[in-house]
Structure 1
Amino acid sequence: MDLSEARHAFVTGGASGIGLGIVDAMVRRGLRVTVADIDAETLARVVAERWEGVRGVVLDTRDRDGWARAKAEAESAFGPVDVLVNNAGIAPNGREFADMDPESFDRIVAINLGGVANGVFAFAADMRARGRGHVVNTSSQAGLTASVPGVGAYATAKFGVTALTEALRQEMAPHGVGVSLLCPGYVATNLAETTRKIGGEIRQYAGSMPPSTITPDDVGEMVAAGIAADEPVIVTHTRVWRSVEPRFTAIREACERRDAAA
């Protein structure tokens, strides 16, 4: 999508971290932006620091009625949404499945996968009817390969986002609506803090990442470029293929064995 022709972006989890990086990238391109976030205090500060074309709406992405209200408010203020970024999420709980509290699993899936689906439910039909727009869904490198112990619930949700996005891209392409999957690696954000604020569990897990040189603003620019090029997948870090290749190699080899046996 040519962002010079877009007018309104709606970004969840937009008051901090990667979401805020995407908000600022959209602002730099002249879009009006609705910033949706569950943290009312941080949201108010972010909006106050930006121009009048940025407005906030408090939203728990698990709340479908809340989505309906947020959409109505956003479009009443700024018109139809051209760019939807389903970015809100929480961190891994660091637990292996054998040790996991089912409530922790449910929370991660409800926010990281269910919240994305709810955004699609709220906006996809209108975008399809207008024949324009772009959807970005935030998955993770953990949505491409589940290779680190302690991120099982998180990876389950993020793999779901990957599948949802791939299916949505096929459905929306004939109608002129683009869909991209954002798969960030480790980016220094306040994700742990926001996870704790909503009662989520944070534990150190094997494979914890070193400090990242990729910033939220960097990711925002990558997302803007990915929208402009209608990229199906946006990765943020180098050498991602090295971590995902074993999974795809195993799938290819399984298929080849079955073909050979046929």
Structure 2
Amino acid sequence: MELAGKTAFVSGGGGGIGGGMAEAFVEKGMKVVLADVQLDYAKEEAARLGEQALPLALDVTSLDSWAAAREAAIARFGRVDVLCNNAGVSTTWTSLDQFSPEEFERVMAINVTGVFYGIRTFAGDMRQRGSGHIVNTSSMNGLSPYRGLATYSASKFAVFGLSDAVRDELAQDGVGVSTLFPGLVRSRMSMNRASGAQGSGVSREALEARMMDPLRVGRAVARAIETDAPYIVTHPEHKAHFEARCRALLDAFDAGLEPG
């Protein structure tokens, strides 16, 4: 997809990866809608990016909020060509059996249902036009789960599976779908996770040192949209861990139900 002159709608656009996406899109000559539950954060990003950026309040767990945001985006820019379902929340490093049911439901509502609502809101317009692209933010934890982050990993694995299925569903209508698998990227969410790193066995300083510049991620997302790439991986150093997990799964296929 040629990006110049197009409009992108970014949930969780008030900073971090969402802010990096928006900045990369503006570099490409796009207009951007920065939608965030914290409107002040979205306004700060929009002020930095200029008149081509529109800040909006968005609660991704509310279809009514999505509908209002879509209406405002179309009123300002005419249409939305790219949807980035990027809003999400992390969790504290907690054993799953100690995790509260209320917090589990909140994480799923934001990280999974929020992605569904975004697609539900914008995919129909894209299908009718025969063009568009959707980017769903999963995580490295959506490829390789880690102890203490079972709830977060479950939500991000769900985004991965949902995205692959939707990519197949929308391809015939000219709409692309990419899944973003970021490692640690400099953001409020990552800083909050680093502050509670004692449960991970990794120091806060070590986690902060790994954090990538959000603009680098945003530029990778822009390239993926241009080429209709299915996956975007930010931190290749995790490849060996993922390969080991895949190898174990493939070995299970080979072993069969009754080895020998």
Cα deviation code 1:84-113 (max 9, x no counterpart): 000011112211111111111111111111
Secondary structure, counterpart of 1:175 in structure 2: coil
* 2:184/2:211 contact within 8 Å kept: no
Unaligned runs of 5+ in 2: none
1:154 corresponds to: 152
1:242 corresponds to: 240
Report the AA paired with residue 27 of structure 2: R
Tell me how far apart the structure 2 counterparts of residues 71 and 183 of structure 1 sit (CA, whole Å).
Answer: 26
* 2:23/2:49 contact within 8 Å kept: no
1:252 corresponds to: 250
* 1:131/1:175 contact within 8 Å kept: yes
Tell me how far apart the structure 2 counterparts of residues 232 and 141 of structure 1 sit (CA, whole Å).
Answer: 15
**Residues 223 and 251 (structure 1), Cα distance of their counterparts in 2 relative to 1, 3 Å cut:** same
Report the AA paired with residue 242 of structure 2: V
Unaligned runs of 5+ in 1: 196-200
Secondary structure, counterpart of 2:135 in structure 1: strand
1:92 counterpart = 2:86: no
Cα deviation code 1:186-205 (max 9, x no counterpart): 1121115789xxxxx96643
Tell me how far apart the structure 2 counterparts of residues 86 and 12 of structure 1 sit (CA, whole Å).
Answer: 6
**Residues 67 and 202 (structure 1), Cα distance of their counterparts in 2 relative to 1, 3 Å cut:** farther
1:198 corresponds to: none
Name the TM-score, length of structure 1 as normaliser.
0.91
2:65 corresponds to: 66
Tell me how far apart the structure 2 counterparts of residues 258 and 194 of structure 1 sit (CA, whole Å).
Answer: 43
Name the TM-score, length of structure 2 as normaliser.
0.92
Secondary structure, counterpart of 2:32 in structure 1: strand
Tell me how far apart the structure 2 counterparts of residues 88 and 15 of structure 1 sit (CA, whole Å).
Answer: 9
1:206 counterpart = 2:204: no
**Residues 130 and 207 (structure 1), Cα distance of their counterparts in 2 relative to 1, 3 Å cut:** farther
Cα offset, 1:218, TM superposition: 0.5
* 1:169/1:179 contact within 8 Å kept: yes
2:82 corresponds to: 83
Cα offset, 1:240, TM superposition: 2.5
* 1:91/1:202 contact within 8 Å kept: no
Tell me how far apart the structure 1 counterparts of residues 10 and 94 of structure 2 sit (CA, whole Å).
Answer: 29
Tell me how far apart the structure 1 counterparts of residues 255 and 72 of structure 2 sit (CA, whole Å).
Answer: 55
CA RMSD of aligned residues (A): 2.1
Cα offset, 1:246, TM superposition: 2.1
